[in-house]
Chains A and B, each alone.
Chain A
């Protein structure tokens, strides 16, 4: 199914119906009749998008920087966005794959429970995070961002893997409860603040909070397993043999909280 926005607008479009689950078994007319919000007005999908059936199972969209909640709660299938995507992309998704060829806005993969999100450029704030008041953020799944990511990446994250190939904003991994956050660029300030459990893996030296303490330098076997699994994905994550076989400095924290979190900094 091909969806191209009819108008370029700054008004947010809320379209949680754009998922393979909702589209499955529906004709173009039926898909066009699905409800969306254009600002605060209820409209139909056909009012906002030009919809064509290309005979493929994949949902392909043009650049949609103001369309929110694409792929929300999806359980299977694929969505490809040929440009930028709006807020809450893949929020609470449970399976399937979303590929964004441009940038994605805030809250992408928020509270997701499975599946994959791959962003070719930059991601906004609260990537894989928890909504305010929620107990936990991302819980299983994989997010790969080829560019930079904003603040509070992986906030309250519980399980799953986030890979950011560029830089991280501030407070990445804040209040983490589990899962793995890997960053190849520069990590921002207050990394891992209030983290209880979980692992952050870095390939550039961070400015660590004083509530993180140095433990040891070694080659962690679990990381070898995880990196090799990531190497098998088609996302071309820049994992080298050195990253797998090299040593990492392990820091434990945040000791102002439970203190069972860890930051690994690649050494050699």
Chain B
């Protein structure tokens, strides 16, 4: 199968069940909301070393306080991990950011206390306010007002987590870094237009894809040698002679439909660049992930 003479390899991406939360950060203007949101999403590329995968989903249209807001999606392996990350990230990145406030913006099956723990920073001067119950929030949304030097920090008591899909991916293979990077940028642009989706790596792109295992006993994963052009002759390479660069787009999504749409749009965008030879995907033989995303089906 080909798109614009770019081969779509007959393989599949393997995605995993994760838990996701959507955090809405508001502030006095878009700039300060983005300052806070980008810090929350910082160092959130992979659950392996960062604790969660995080990315900015986009600007929020209608926020509870009517101020500019930014939605952040965070993904982790369990709701407990997510709670831990939200505590750290909201406490250190939103509470510290001038004029910011923080709201839950996703209804899910798991609920955990975040603002209700951060409140102790108020040293006894924190104040709780609760809205009346609604169908979405049968107990009523409860907020904590924590006095801070810049005024007061408003944070929702509980956040929710929903089951989600993480680790969707495709590899862009080409003749050199320029066309492959250009194709990656176009792919990420397309992916980020899809709602409920993030590409958590820097600029949405990964250059250091990994394989399971290593020759070193203390490492569980190491560089994906089959796709490293530098060692093509020394390994069992999956690259052709003219293929000199591979970049990966990793996608997390709130549901499999959004994941498929993001994969579709991203692959089509990547295939529009000259110099891209193939689109492939990373998997573990289909043994580890709950979701199999067949490239030929998705495009």
Contacts and interface: CB of A to CB of B under 8 A. Distances in A.
Interface of A: 114, 140-142, 159-161, 178, 180, 197, 199, 218, 220-222, 224-226, 228-229, 244-245, 260, 262
Interface in B88-135: 101, 127-133
- Considering the complex of A and B, which 7 residue pairs feature the smallest CB-CB distances, nearest first? A224-B65, A221-B154, A225-B64, A221-B101, A225-B65, A222-B129, A218-B151
A160 B66 contact: no
Interface residues of B, number: 19
B227 interface: no
B131 A225 contact: yes
A161 B26 CA distance: 24
A222 B145 contact: yes
A225 B140 CA distance: 13
Interface string B123-165: 0000111111100000010010100000110100000000000
B67 interface: yes
Interface centre among A225, A228, A244 (most CB of B within 10 A): A225
B127 A197 contact: yes
Contacts of B151: 218, 221
25 contacts: A114-B132, A114-B133, A140-B133, A159-B130, A178-B128, A197-B127, A199-B127, A199-B129, A218-B151, A220-B145, A220-B152, A221-B65, A221-B101, A221-B152, A221-B154, A222-B143, A222-B145, A222-B152, A224-B64, A224-B65, A224-B66, A225-B65, A228-B66, A244-B66, A245-B66
B144 to A, nearest CB: 9
Contacts of B130: 140, 159
Nearest to B154: A221
Nearest to A115: B132
B132 A160 contact: yes
A226 B101 CA distance: 14
Nearest to B65: A224
A225 to B, nearest CB: 5
Nearest to A160: B132
A219 B26 CA distance: 14
Contacts of B67: 221, 224
Interface string B63-78: 0111100000000000
A114 B131 CA distance: 11
Given A161-B132, A218-B151, A220-B152, A260 B65 contact: no
A228 B132 contact: no
A147 to B, nearest CB: 22
Interface in B149-186: 151-152, 154
B66 A141 contact: no
Given A140-B132, A180-B129, A228 B140 contact: no
Contact of A226 (B127, B128, B129, B152): B129
A141 B131 contact: no
A263 to B, nearest CB: 13
Interface in B178-230: none
A96 to B, nearest CB: 13
A252 B64 CA distance: 26
Nearest to A218: B151
B65 A228 contact: yes
Contacts of A226: 129, 131
A39 B167 CA distance: 73
Contacts of B154: 221-222, 225
B260 to A, nearest CB: 35
Given A178-B128, A225-B131, 19 more contacts: A140-B133, A140-B140, A141-B132, A159-B130, A161-B132, A199-B127, A218-B151, A220-B145, A220-B152, A221-B26, A221-B67, A221-B101, A221-B151, A222-B152, A225-B65, A225-B143, A229-B132, A245-B66, A260-B127
